[in-house]
Structure 1
Amino acid sequence: MKQEKLTYFTLISYASTAIPLAMLGLPLYIYLPTFYSQSVGISVTLVGLILFFARLTDVITDPLVGLYSDRLQSRYGKRKPFILTGSLILVASFYALIHPPENQTELWLFSFSILVYLGWSIVSIPYLAWSAEITSDYHEKTRLSGARELFTILGALAALLIPYLYSVSESADKSLSILYTAFLIALILMLPLTLTGIKESRVKPTKHITFREVKTLWQKIPALSRLQSAFTLNSLANALPATLFLFFVQLVLEEESKTGPLLLLYFASGIAGLPFWTMLAKKIGKRKSWLGSMLLASTAFVFVPFLGSGDLVWFACITFVSGLSLGADMALPSSIQADVVQKIEKEKSSYAGILFGIWAMLTKFALALAVGIGFVILGAVGFDPHEPTPLALTTLALLYGGAPVFFKMIAFWIMKDYRETV
């Protein structure tokens, strides 16, 4: 592994693929549930259940993708073939997902959601695992993760701006269509840079690991389970507002036309805050910096349930402050995991893929749980996006603003005693 400071070309080459992934990820988590509940006509409860159970397949596929990504030996490396194959699956399956037939829409949503999630796994897990192999330096891993997440935010910003510039941001179906085209163009431009700009290490592991050996890691390294538990809860806290954002702005704030600018403000704030968190992590450590970001976001979000119609300015302020913590949430936990991988691989076995496979599984489980919790609870109180009752609006506000603070505080408590090893 390289010990020297990474060049800007290496950082850009690695991070570039994050742009098309983010351009696909944002509509997948924000627009798709709304599209199938409002435009296609499936009830919000059923949409939530379908997406939740489709996500459960990641419990099996993500660790397997990580395991076999570690084991693959080819003339092109062990990460690049997976990334290329997964990209092709994504291109085909997401197109089908946003073009449902008139009949059997529930089965269509379930089937192609599974394929999209599978393609996403085949791309993202080797991509994340690769970050633990490009450099072994503690701070350079933070720079690498920071570059990837900066490009992720840039991709998300592009995904926000494109529907807004074409005046379709208020329409989930039109936004999905135009964003698919943008994703395809970005993938064609960016993916070759990642695949050709960085050479993979040709060092082979001395042995292949098994799932039984992975299980023993939590006994050998207790900090690993602590990190992954906190990460899951924090991801759930972030996923709930992302899933319910459109409903909250449209129905609680009654500012449907401001969804685009608000999301733009959030991600722009994330870009502004990322250099600060990178610098802070270098001074006080990644754990303390991440804890600080949790406190900042929670302090801002605790006021959200008290907002209502006419409180756009206050919500914009909360959006900006909570957005500042976005960079830390995205870059620091995965960088800490890369440090753990670095320590484990002193045993001369390749663990990066399987551990980041589990990491990806936890990420998507949190997103699925957010959809399941949010949509099922809303369905239980009789939520109708066309004629919401006062009880439904109160429930929506508590799910959007109150629940994330609760989950973040549990994650904070879990991580406060975590001990970093450099």
Structure 2
Amino acid sequence: MTLSSAPKRLSWPLLVLFAMPTLPMYLLRGPAFSILPALYAEHFAISLGTMSLILLLVRVFDGVLDVGVGWAIDATQDRWGGRKSWFLVGSMLTVACIFQLYVPPVHADAMYFATWFFIAYFAWTVNEIPYGAWSVDLTTDYRERSRITVARQYFNVASGALLGLIPLLWFLPTTEMNFDALRVLAWMVAATLPLISLLCVIYVPRGVTAAHATRHSLIASFKAIRTNRAFIRFLIASALAGLGDATGAAVGFLVLDSYLGLGAAIGMVLLQWGVAATIGVGVAEFFLKRFEKHRVFAWSAIGCALCYLAFAPLQPGIPHLLFLYLVCSFAHTMFYIVIDMLPQAMVGDLADFDLMKSGVARTAQYVSVLTFVRKATFGIGTSLSLFVVSQFGFEAKQAVYASTAILGLKISAFALPFACFMLAALIIWAYPITARRHAVIQQRNARLGRVVPDPGLA
């Protein structure tokens, strides 16, 4: 059976089941990107300069592992197609290490955080890359890939809403996001992720696979990926968007809690994030059915940039501060949730283009390179942001902040993200793989008989 006869749509029950592991995984990762480093800094007296170095080293080193994991996944052939086996192992590894990171002992220090942060990120890599490659394999259709990504993003949004509800649970002593709340989060993930992952592996088909496995070295893959100009443009835009998000998110909790004094409202902030993200995904779904993915990406990046301009004038003590913060955050969330999901919907199209040119299936490697870039840029952006605020003399929970400290905080929280998102929009605007061109790519791959669909697809 050739690609031309492959079913293009995943049934709704299978689509929902496939997207469900996103909920516990993103419930776990959400605090790790922004809240967790700030909590460790506040509770264990770790300086922001030290924290910035840890985040940079851990995430860049872990990102290098991503590429090797992607190559290994593409090289793995078993009765489940390789993706499922790696995904299930990654889920189990994640559960094995979450309590050490999210429920630290009283003597935790910078080395403890660095060690378990690295281990956790490695476990997430073994889960994330095969999951991403599997989502690409489920269809060969340009629009259907957006549908699958949107379904996953709805569960991502649900994780954010659930995260906002955790601090509001009646048995917790405060409504702040602290280590008591993170302990509850860890138990939720441990109770749900293994079972959901197992059901997903059993019932969801593996999707299309390479008709003829071609042996290739990791170096050959690097060369092929490097010469894919469309992918390089896509990576640069994704990296800039990642830098913009990282610089803002790294100090976002400090802006909310230490500077604006709204830490007690964190539950409300996270809940509005869930509402805004749900609306944002719905709006994105509407536009993705009518416009090219890269144009939706570009307009969303511009929207994010403008939101950071709106955040900048906020300061402690102004009237209706919480309301104004929530309005800005609502708009920013609607735009950024689109940028967060679109790279996964686009990377498969680029792997198809490489398959057409080289005849080698490298889907997991493309996903791994994207994952590496997103982790590395987030690590760099987070470290850069924390380094800037530390150089301007800003530290968590100071009684009074000098004007220079506030300036450093606003550069990291607002100015750097604005610049990064505007550049990302400019670069992605001329992205060459449209729906029409992707259809031509798939037709050629079909004529060459390079992939075979899973008969389990409906």
Q: Normalising by the residue count of structure 2, what TM-score does the alignment of the two structures yield?
A: 0.87
Query: Which residue in the other structure is 1:376 paired with?
Result: 387
How far 1:191 moved relative to its partner?
A: 1.5
CA offsets per residue over residues 271-293 of structure 1, 9 Å max, x none?
11212212212212111111111
Query: Which residue in the other structure is 1:236 paired with?
Result: 243
What letter matches 2:375 in structure 1?
K
Contact 2:165 2:267 in 1 (8 A): yes
Q: Normalising by the residue count of structure 1, what TM-score does the alignment of the two structures yield?
A: 0.94
For residues 174-253 of structure 1, the aligned pairs below 5 Å read 174-201=180-207, 203=210, 205-218=212-225, 220-253=227-260
Contact 1:269 1:323 in 2 (8 A): yes
- Comparing 314-323 with 127-136, greater Cα deviation is found at 314-323
Quick one: distance in 2 between partners of 1:61 and 1:16?
26
Q: Percent identity, aligned pairs only? A: 21
Contact 1:208 1:350 in 2 (8 A): no
- Comparing 204-213 with 36-45, greater Cα deviation is found at 204-213
Identify unmatched segments of 5+ residues in structure 2.
439-458
For residues 3-402 of structure 1, the aligned pairs below 5 Å read 3-101=7-105, 103=107, 105-166=109-170, 167=172, 168-201=174-207, 203=210, 205-218=212-225, 220-309=227-316, 310=318, 311-346=321-356, 347-387=358-398, 388-402=401-415
Quick one: distance in 2 between partners of 1:239 and 1:106?
20
What letter matches 1:246 in structure 2?
F
User: How many residues end up aligned between the 2 structures?
Assistant: 422
* Partner-residue secondary structure (3-state), 1:349: coil
- Comparing 4-13 with 143-152, greater Cα deviation is found at 4-13
Quick one: distance in 1 between partners of 2:152 and 2:215?
28
- Counterparts in 2 of 1:197 and 1:240: CA distance versus 1, 3 Å: farther
Quick one: distance in 2 between partners of 1:219 and 1:369?
21
How far 1:259 moved relative to its partner?
A: 1.8
How far 1:205 moved relative to its partner?
A: 4.0
Quick one: distance in 1 between partners of 2:182 and 2:34?
10
What letter matches 1:389 in structure 2?
A
How far 1:30 moved relative to its partner?
A: 2.3
* Partner-residue secondary structure (3-state), 1:56: helix
What letter matches 1:177 in structure 2?
R
Q: CA RMSD in A?
A: 1.9
Quick one: distance in 2 between partners of 1:404 and 1:115?
29
* Partner-residue secondary structure (3-state), 1:306: coil
* Partner-residue secondary structure (3-state), 2:10: coil
Quick one: distance in 1 between partners of 2:211 and 2:114?
38
Quick one: distance in 2 between partners of 1:104 and 1:267?
32
Quick one: distance in 2 between partners of 1:417 and 1:203?
30
Contact 1:51 1:371 in 2 (8 A): yes
